[in-house]
């Protein structure tokens, strides 16, 4: 009789939970994959905060995605009047820097090859592929903690993803270091699924022109000076051994040489403003998210542009992860 009562109580509990709409982790993952599979695209707006340098950097992020492979990600730092755009269309992957009238073209699988905290389908892929992901359900949200898929940054191995229960839209993402300290946070303010786009919404030339209306192209200034920046990240056994300033036709170039167990060179010079954006420079490498900007990474170098200055970090000794760690830290407080 006791066994029957226990069995009956168990059945009633299941029925009550079902009636209350409680879903298991597998149910939610299945719903997410179904939603991504059926959606035609979306538009999203978010605020991204980076806590990797001396001061937090805040960016507004606007995302357009049209299935299966068109993307437009606009990143703006309103305080510093900076703007960059990542664009993917049938021609390839572009990184646009409107203020310099520059566009770089990559033959890349971006964004499939890495986690992207501001792309919905990337978050769903992270959730689906991590079989050890944790899950909890609150009154309004589903919350997952998963591993990230950053190929070139092992310093951000975990993330917490919060989804709206009503429509499974993203609410927020915290990307964390090995000690679970959030270094990148993304807060979504608006997400609209199955939106329609103009025929040329993902055209490179149209987007460059449109972005320049918001962030005008820099003029050619007579004063080509800039403040030299030094990496804040420390790699054991490596120190600055030489700082050389070279006079160039259009200004100066600064070369920092670091030596020790491993060596690398960091070159900085004033970025040129190109006259036309009709031709994109093709980059051999992959786009890499440095937090404050998007650069290009190869086996032996990372190149990027920030606040009107071109940077190149080159090394035969550093791993990709180490190069990214150092490049990210150049935005921090100047440290020799």
Q: What is the pLDDT of residues 72-112, one digit of tens each?
A: 999 988 666 678 999 999 999 999 988 888 889 998 889 98
Residue 1: pLDDT over 90? no
Distance CA 86, CA 110 (A): 10
Confidence of residue 211 (pLDDT cuts 50, 70, 90): confident
Q: What pLDDT was estimated at residue 152? A: 67
Report field, pTM of the whole predicted structure over 0.75: yes
Least trusted range by pLDDT, from 4-8, 67-71, 168-172: 4-8
- Strand segments (E) across the chain: 41-50, 57-66, 70-77, 82-89, 92-97, 102-106, 134-137, 141-147, 158-164, 170-176, 182-193, 238-248, 251-260, 264-270, 281-283, 286-289, 294-297, 301-306, 309-314
Residue 299 is given by DSSP the state: S
Residue with tokens 């040489």: 257
Confidence of residue 245 (pLDDT cuts 50, 70, 90): very high
Distance CA 228, CA 240 (A): 14
- CA dihedral defined by 9, 14, 19, 22, rounded to 10 degrees? 140
Other CB atoms within 10 A of residue 184 CB: 20
Q: What pLDDT was estimated at residue 174? A: 98
Contact 288, 296 (CB under 8 A): yes
Q: What pLDDT was estimated at residue 15? A: 45
Superfamily of domain 25-214: Lipoprotein localisation LolA/LolB/LppX (2.50.20.10)
Residue 262: pLDDT over 90? yes
Greatest Cα pair distance in the chain: 95
Distance CA 163, CA 134 (A): 14
Among 39-53, 128-142, 268-282, 303-317, which range has the highest average pLDDT?
A: 128-142
Q: What pLDDT was estimated at residue 54? A: 67
Distance CA 170, CA 173 (A): 8
H helical segments located in the chain: 2-19, 25-38, 120-129, 204-214, 320-329
Residue 265: pLDDT over 80? yes
Q: Across-strand partners of 174?
A: 160, 185
Burial of 284: CB neighbours in 10 Å, binned 0-12, 13-18, 19+: exposed
What residues does each domain of the chain span? 25-214, 238-272+298-329
Q: What pLDDT was estimated at residue 200? A: 93
Contact 268, 228 (CB under 8 A): yes
């Amino acid at each position: 009789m006791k066994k029957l009562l226990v069995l009956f109580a168990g059945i009633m509990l299941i029925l009550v939970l079902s009636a209350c709409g409680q879903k298991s982790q597998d149910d939610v993952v299945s719903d997410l994959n179904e939603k991504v599979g059926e959606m035609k695209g979306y538009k999203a707006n978010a605020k991204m905060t980076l806590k990797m340098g001396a001061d937090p950097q805040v960016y507004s992020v606007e995302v357009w995605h049209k299935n299966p492979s068109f993307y437009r990600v606009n990143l703006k730092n309103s305080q510093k009047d900076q703007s960059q755009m990542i664009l993917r269309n049938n021609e390839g992957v572009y990184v646009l820097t409107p203020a310099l009238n520059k566009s770089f073209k990559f033959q890349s699988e971006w964004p499939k090859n890495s986690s992207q905290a501001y792309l919905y389908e990337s978050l769903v892929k992270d959730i689906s592929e991590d079989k050890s992901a944790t899950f909890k359900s609150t009154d309004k949200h589903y919350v997952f903690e998963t591993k990230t898929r950053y190929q070139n940054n092992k310093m951000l191995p975990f993330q917490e993803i919060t989804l709206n229960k009503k429509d499974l839209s993203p609410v927020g993402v915290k990307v964390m270091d090995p000690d679970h300290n959030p270094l990148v946070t993304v807060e979504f303010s608006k997400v609209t699924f199955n939106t329609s786009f103009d025929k040329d919404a993902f055209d490179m030339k149209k987007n460059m022109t449109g972005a320049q209306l918001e962030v005008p192209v820099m003029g050619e200034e007579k004063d080509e000076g800039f403040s030299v920046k030094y990496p804040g990240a420390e790699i054991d056994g490596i120190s600055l051994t030489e700082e050389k300033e070279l006079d160039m036709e259009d200004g100066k170039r600064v070369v920092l040489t670091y030596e020790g167990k491993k060596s690398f060179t960091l070159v900085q010079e004033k970025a040129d403003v190109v006259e036309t954006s009709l031709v994109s420079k093709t980059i051999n490498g992959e786009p890499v998210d440095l937090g404050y900007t998007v650069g290009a990474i190869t086996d032996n170098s990372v190149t990027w542009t920030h606040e009107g200055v071109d940077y190149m970090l080159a090394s035969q000794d550093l791993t990709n992860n180490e190069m990214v760690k150092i490049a990210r830290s150049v935005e921090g407080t100047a440290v020799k």
